[in-house]
């Protein structure tokens, strides 16, 4: 087994192991990928301020995220098709997060269902919701999340229409993968991945299987999904979801100060500054550039979290310095899952926490909650 020292090591292992269509689905972005690349470039451009002569013994990375204790200010973000990176991937990621001590968020577009994951963990997890044209189906997902004991609902707002991801089209991505000559050759080169995924509980969207009228085949199921993203989504729908759910509500996909003010006024528990990992509006501002103005607009009325390009503990600390109280990671844990299954997710979390801890010490911090713009160089 190769020595894994950073998230990039996990990414490279996942690239070698996972079928290209699935790896590219995780790794790539929309259109020219300008926003995807800006997420990383703008984080990397921030310089930390090294401090010495300060007692940094007995450091703490613990925080509360929407009232839930977390070992570090990081939650696993919702990610579609997680279970095609590794069999039963959602269950494995949820277990890794539970054992490590951070929240896990299950996507509506997961392979394993809400019920599958609930049966595989001992503690509550979070569920991510898309409000679809079929409001009755959205309401049924909320009810299922309640029954499963989910402790928070993450409502994603920035997929009312879907941005085009060129690589997915070129790879013929479908669920399960469409068997073209290119995908057949790729699968033949990745027999370990293919055999692994075939052993999983499910091969399609678990939350949707058997729930959609007249969805007698994968083709009709996919057509139903494609028609369900709803351009009429409005703040009234957010209020509707809030009323139905009645518990902790987190809004993901906020990138504008005006939207942040509206969201805070609705009394939600947290908002996530996110551009969907550079997978939606290409040319949008990077999440880290949007973060300070969003935090300023909210002024403590609700928690502000950050999502977009995190590959290290240093990235986490930079986000906290610019106004976030916590973060979410997507690709970083998916690389770990694709590389090594549950152990890979755990390794990704270990890497980020160790980097965060060391970086805090070298910036003169003992408690992660004390991060501020003072730890960044002008």
Q: Which residues are catalytically annotated?
A: 276
Query: CB-based contacts of 289: which residues, under 8 Å, 6+ apart?
Result: 38, 42
Q: Which pairing describes strands 63-65 and 68-70: parallel, antiparallel, or unpaired?
A: antiparallel
Would you call 156 exposed, middle or buried from its count of C-beta atoms within 10 A (0-12, 13-18, 19+)? buried
HSE-up of 121 (CA within 13 Å, CB side)? 33
Q: What angle do CA 33, 37, 40 make, to 5 degrees?
A: 155
Closest CA to 326 of 310, 348, 341, 339: 310
Phi, psi of 348, deg, nearest 5: -60, -45
Query: Is there a contact between 346 and 296 (Cβ–Cβ < 8 Å)?
Result: no
Please give the Cα distance from 373 to 269 (Å, whole number). Answer: 24
CA distance 55 to 24: 44
The contacts of residue 291 (CB under 8 Å, 6+ apart) are 273, 304, 306, 319, 322, 323, 324
Inter-residue contact 133 to 161 (CB < 8 Å): no
Query: For 177, which DSSP code?
Result: P
């Amino acid at each position: 087994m190769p020595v894994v020292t950073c998230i990039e090591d996990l990414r490279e292992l996942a690239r070698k192991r996972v079928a290209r269509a699935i790896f590219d689905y995780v790794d790539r972005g929309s259109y020219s990928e300008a926003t995807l690349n800006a997420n990383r470039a703008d984080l990397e451009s921030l310089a930390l301020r090294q401090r010495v002569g300060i007692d940094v013994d007995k450091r703490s990375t613990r925080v509360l995220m929407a009232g839930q204790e977390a070992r570090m200010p990081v939650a696993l973000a919702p990610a579609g098709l997680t279970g095609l990176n590794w069999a039963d991937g959602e269950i494995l990621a949820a277990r890794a997060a539970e054992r490590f001590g951070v929240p896990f968020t299950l996507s509506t577009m997961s392979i394993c269902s809400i019920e599958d994951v609930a049966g595989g963990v001992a503690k509550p997890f979070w569920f991510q919701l898309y409000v679809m044209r079929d409001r009755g189906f959205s309401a049924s997902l909320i009810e299922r999340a309640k029954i499963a004991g989910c402790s928070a609902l993450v409502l994603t707002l920035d997929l009312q229409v879907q941005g085009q991801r060129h690589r997915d089209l070129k790879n013929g991505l479908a669920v399960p993968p469409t068997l073209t000559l290119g995908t057949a050759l790729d699968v033949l080169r990745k027999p370990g991945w293919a055999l692994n995924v075939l052993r999983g509980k499910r091969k399609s969207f678990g939350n949707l299987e058997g729930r959609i009228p007249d969805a007698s085949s994968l083709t009709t199921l996919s057509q139903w999904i494609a028609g369900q993203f709803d351009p009429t989504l409005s703040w009234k729908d957010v209020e509707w979801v809030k009323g139905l759910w009645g518990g902790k509500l987190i809004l993901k996909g906020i990138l504008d100060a005006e939207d942040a003010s509206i969201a805070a006024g609705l009394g939600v528990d947290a908002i996530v500054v996110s551009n969907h990992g550079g997978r939606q509006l290409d040319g949008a501002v990077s999440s880290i550039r949007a973060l300070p103005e969003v935090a300023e607009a909210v002024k403590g009325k609700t928690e502000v979290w950050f999502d977009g390009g995190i590959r290290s503990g240093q990235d986490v600390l930079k986000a906290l310095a610019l106004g976030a109280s916590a973060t979410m990671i997507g690709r970083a844990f998916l690389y770990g899952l694709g590389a090594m299954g549950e152990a890979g997710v755990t390794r990704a979390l270990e890497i980020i926490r160790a980097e965060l801890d060391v970086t805090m010490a070298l910036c003169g911090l003992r408690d992660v909650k004390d991060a501020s713009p003072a730890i960044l160089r002008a």
